Chain A
Amino acid sequence: MWTCKRVAKSLAETHYKGLPGRKRLGLKAHMALCLVCSRYHKDAMLMQDCAKALAEREQAGNCQLPARLPEDAKERMKRQLRDVD
């Protein structure tokens, strides 16, 4: 049986979805029975899901910031790349 501390350490060090199946089962079993840490760790897991989804959106180029590299910066970079090339 997982202890509260072991659950806390695992969730602090890794994304719960990255845990091997048996470990994830142990974690969920502990949380189903433990009133002390179930809500705290459910919060952590929910935020891990949000962060993972955001990182995947960014990787796909779906950032919400309407940022574009300024044209003068683009020209400067092109010149530099030509020089290096």
Chain B
Amino acid sequence: METKSPNPELWVDEYGDYLYRYAVHRLRDPIVAEDAVQETFLAGIKGLDGYNGQVDVRFWLRGILRNKIIDHFRKSAREMPLEDVEEYEMPDTFLMKYSGIPTRTPLPWKFDPRKSFEDVEFWKIFESCTAKLPERLRQAFTLKELEGVSSQETCEVLGISPNNLWVMIHRSRKHLKQCLEKNWGELNR
């Protein structure tokens, strides 16, 4: 177990790249990611008394960064036009009312992604597919599926209804499936 680093200045060399990679991946903007890392270090110093040494400093700082990222999403969602959300209304169909499924049964996968989990190339493709998601979908997918934020908090952060979120997650999965099948499945069948 790592102990409290006596010199937070060392944090930059020890954890800077790790936190920056994580922030760039979540925020997709190097400048915003840099700011988020900087704010994380500053918040870390201010909150150092609250660090109890039970988790690695790296993961403790990452927890702070996670909150900064959520704050950024909250702020950027407020600046997006409200009309953007309207296209994510729940479809008023019999299937939706009966089963809670927004669309008809999807086509089966052409390959099983689980079999590619050990392949570094697969993750490169997966990451580039998540980066290509439309911004609102990417934020919803990041918060809900990658960060494991609850549905209620995701809705509050993004300023959307539970129905909007449901549709957004459905569409992001659909986009990702299409992207993976095109860029990975067809080459590795």
Contact = CB atoms under 8 A, between A and B. Distances in A.
Interface of A: 4-5, 7-9, 12-13, 15, 35-37, 39-40, 43-44, 46-51, 53-55, 57-59, 61-65, 67-70, 73-74, 76-78, 80-82, 84-85
Interface string B147-173: 110110000000000000110010001
B105 A36 contact: yes
Nearest to B100: A8
Contacts of A85: 8-9, 45
Contact of A63 (B30, B127, B166): B127
B127 A54 contact: yes
Interface of A is mostly: helix
Interface of B: 8-9, 11-13, 16-22, 24-25, 30, 33-34, 37-38, 41-42, 45-46, 59, 62, 95, 98-101, 103, 105-106, 108-109, 112-114, 117, 120, 123-124, 126-127, 130, 141, 145-148, 150-151, 165-166, 169, 173, 176-177
B37 A69 contact: yes
Contacts of B19: 69
Given A61-B21, A65-B127, A4 B99 contact: yes
Given A7-B100, A43-B177, A74-B13, A51 B146 contact: yes
A3 to B, nearest CB: 8
A77 B38 contact: yes
Contact of B106 (A12, A43, A61, A76): A43
Contacts of B105: 35-37, 39-40
Contacts of A49: 113-114
Interface of B is mostly: helix
A40 B151 CA distance: 20
B44 to A, nearest CB: 9
| Cβ-closest 10 pairs across A and B | A8-B100, A4-B99, A51-B145, A69-B20, A5-B100, A69-B16, A67-B24, A64-B124, A47-B173, A63-B21
A50 B113 contact: yes
Contacts of A44: 173
Contacts of A64: 120, 123-124, 127
A68 B20 contact: yes
B163 to A, nearest CB: 10
B16 A77 contact: yes
